[in-house]
Amino acid sequence: MLSGLIVSNIAYGVAAYYLYKLVRIDFECSDALRSVIYFSVFPTAYFLHAPYTESLFLALTIASFYYARNERWALSGVLGMLAALTRITGILLLPALLIEYLHHRNFKKEEIRKDAIWIVVVGLGLLIYLGINYMVFGTPFKFLEVQKEHWGMHLSLPTTGFEKAWGIIDWGDPGYKIRGGFMQLFFGLGGLALIIYSFFRVRLSYCVYALATWLVVTSTSFMISVPRFILTIFPIFIALALLGRRKGVNFTVIFISLLLYSFFLSFFLIRKWAF
């Protein structure tokens, strides 16, 4: 437990540092600072300080993008590999980094160099994880079986999960209606809206990664922990930072974030499901 807490909190600091540096490449200092603030007070940001994988994954992912922007492909690829080993959605860095690489090469095939091979290294993270599954359980896809057995989750169209979340609002106790129904819809649709906005304001590679991650998170038969998974889609904080240039928007985002942060954290502290 202590080791998990230490790793998570150090990783949070690293993630915040690289998020600031990454945003600063394209935008003003104030935009970069707001993105870190929104990231830190996001309603499920307490997972960044608990022994979960969110902070480590974000530190590796954002750093991978940062070094890709600076064309340090070897370091970017290795960090991407570690991200893919930390969480399954890390494999989505592969197409995103490929787009970033092509962006640097003006999307011209003749300008592609040998250093592009480092992007493929990202896939090793997933292969290592599948290998661990095989060595321990005898099947590389044991994690899918666990998801189905314990939570009744399997791959499905996003509409299936949204329909079930909507159905939860019509039954159950008020607390579960809010957490299991309304909040899944609110963060799922809200995250999608910010991702769509990102395509008009934010780097293409970030947007592709964000949309792909959103699709993976919501393509399930039963939506659970969507507010926590949305936390790992860092481009939404850049989009919010740009919207937050208006004082009214900035105040509203921080106020609502802290309000929901307190609400979610209260459930977490009494050991009830809190996304």
Mean local confidence (pLDDT), 202-209: 98
CB 86 within 8 A of CB 41: no
Residue 36 has pLDDT above 70, yes or no: yes
Q: Is residue 240 part of a domain?
A: yes
Residue 158 has pLDDT above 90, yes or no: no
Q: Is residue 106 part of a domain?
A: yes
Q: Is residue 224 part of a domain?
A: yes
Q: What is the pLDDT of residue 172?
A: 65
Tell me the residue range of the domain where 97 lies: 2-269
Q: Is residue 275 part of a domain?
A: no
Question: How far does Cα 50 stand from its chain's mean position?
Answer: 16
Q: What number of H helices and E strands is found in the chain?
A: 15, 0
- pLDDT tens, position by position, 59-109: 999 999 999 999 999 999 999 999 999 999 999 999 999 999 999 999 988
Euclidean distance between the first and the last CA atom of the chain, given in angstroms as a whole number: 20
**Domains held by the chain: number:** 1
Q: Is residue 138 part of a domain?
A: yes
What's the CA gap between 11 and 171, in Å, rounded?
A: 39
Q: Is residue 274 part of a domain?
A: no
Q: What is the pLDDT of residue 150?
A: 82
